[in-house]
């Protein structure tokens, strides 16, 4: 069994020890070094060549984001960000993902989290996933694509629903700018994130790169064409037919759940839109979305998954293995496929 070699970067000695202990508790992971700041991190990376780096955002001198950019430029290495549970932390984390970070974990109680052990399983999961990422897949995510010129589409009674997890935020930033400003149907996105701060930050971020309106979905609102609705973290999002309109319903079905379920949303989309539903699964770990895509396919809707260009091929592969993917496409072809599907 190949050990995953990890470098832990945090300005707090106490946090470095706690994080190292958590990682070393897994037989597949070995912490081969620690660093207290960006400068020391660069020295250690050049000498130790880790498979993954856990990187604190807030550090004296060169902070997490500048350090990450230097790592990706000089010694490209999969990085998992440890972020503060705040709006500011969410915004900077979004910049880190844009700059090439693979994933992130929230410190439960700020920079000095004495209770950090509560996120142990999530940290182990993120580090294992990051260590297996082919760095060649990260390069296209850092590169911006130009917006597609406007084109006239005929509005139809259809909907597009997208599910994503690890790598999804960066992939959405490649897809949405390529959609025309007059995209004629609503677009729902279920992106796994740990808190409402990250849903809001993602909406703000995507609004800057696409001509479509991107917003966090609100309970009871009516879906509008050409609008992108993000399922808020901590809630389950379903659709409900209301007269000739379709409205959003937000509930907390699973107390303590931090991420919305792709399956739940897609299953409700299938019930409301039937054969007019278009389901898409992008990069991510696990199987969430497989049952939802099955429901869409069973009512005559269209199902598309991202190919192995996915940062993590888990969720798309699960849909393919279940026989529920009608098309398997790279991220760069996804926008064009969405346009063709809504025009049919």
Q: Which of 165, 178, 309, 310 is catalytic?
A: 165
Q: Which of 20, 131, 178, 192 is catalytic?
A: 192
Structure tokens at 102: 């693979």
Between CA 339 and CA 3 the distance in angstroms is 44
What are residue 334's phi and psi, to 5 degrees?
A: -70, -40
Structure tokens at 196: 């409402």
Q: Please say if 165 is a catalytic residue.
A: yes
Between CA 208 and CA 26 the distance in angstroms is 40
Q: Tell which residue, 76, 31, 38, has the closest CA to residue 55.
A: 38
Q: Please say if 288 is a catalytic residue.
A: yes
From residue 62, alpha-carbon distances to 31, 70, 112, 173 in Å are 22, 10, 18, 27
DSSP 274: G
Q: Please say if 192 is a catalytic residue.
A: yes
Burial code (b: 16+ CB inside 10 Å, e: under 16) for 222-252 equals ebebbbbbbbbbbbbbbbeeeeeebbbbbee
Q: Which of 20, 288, 309, 310 is catalytic?
A: 288
Q: Which residues are catalytic?
A: 165, 192, 288
């Amino acid at each position: 069994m190949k050990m995953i070699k990890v470098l832990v970067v945090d300005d707090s000695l106490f946090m470095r020890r706690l994080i190292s202990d958590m990682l070393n508790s897994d037989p597949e992971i070995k912490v081969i070094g620690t660093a207290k700041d960006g400068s020391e991190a660069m020295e250690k990376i050049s000498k130790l060549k880790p498979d993954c780096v856990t990187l604190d955002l807030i550090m004296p001198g060169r902070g997490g984001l500048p350090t990450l950019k230097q790592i990706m430029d000089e010694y490209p290495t999969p990085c998992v960000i440890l972020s503060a549970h705040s709006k500011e932390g969410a915004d900077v984390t979004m910049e880190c993902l844009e700059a090439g970070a693979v994933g992130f974990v929230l410190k439960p109680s700020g920079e000095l989290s004495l209770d950090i052990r509560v996120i142990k399983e999530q940290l182990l999961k993120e580090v294992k996933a990051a260590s297996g990422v082919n760095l060649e897949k990260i390069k296209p995510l850092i590169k911006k694509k130009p917006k597609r010129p406007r084109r006239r589409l005929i509005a139809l009674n259809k909907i597009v629903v997208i599910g994503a997890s690890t790598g999804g935020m960066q992939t959405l930033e490649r897809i949405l700018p390529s959609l025309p400003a007059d995209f004629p149907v609503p677009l729902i996105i279920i992106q796994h994130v740990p808190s409402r701060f990250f849903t809001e930050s993602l909406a703000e971020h995507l609004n800057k790169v696409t001509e479509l309106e991107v917003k966090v979905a609100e309970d009871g609102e009516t879906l509008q064409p050409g609008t992108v609705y993000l399922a808020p973290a901590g809630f389950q999002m379903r659709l409900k037919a209301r007269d000739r309109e379709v409205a959003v319903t937000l509930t907390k079905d699973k107390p303590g759940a931090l991420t919305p379920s792709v399956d739940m949303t897609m299953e409700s989309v299938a019930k409301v839109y039937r054969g007019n539903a278009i389901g898409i699964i992008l990069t991510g770990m696990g199987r969430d979305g497989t049952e939802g895509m099955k429901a869409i396919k069973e009512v005559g809707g269209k199902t598309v998954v991202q190919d192995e260009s996915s940062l993590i091929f888990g969720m798309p592969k699960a849909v393919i293995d279940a026989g529920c993917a009608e098309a398997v496409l790279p991220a760069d072809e996804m926008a064009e496929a969405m346009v063709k599907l809504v025009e049919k």
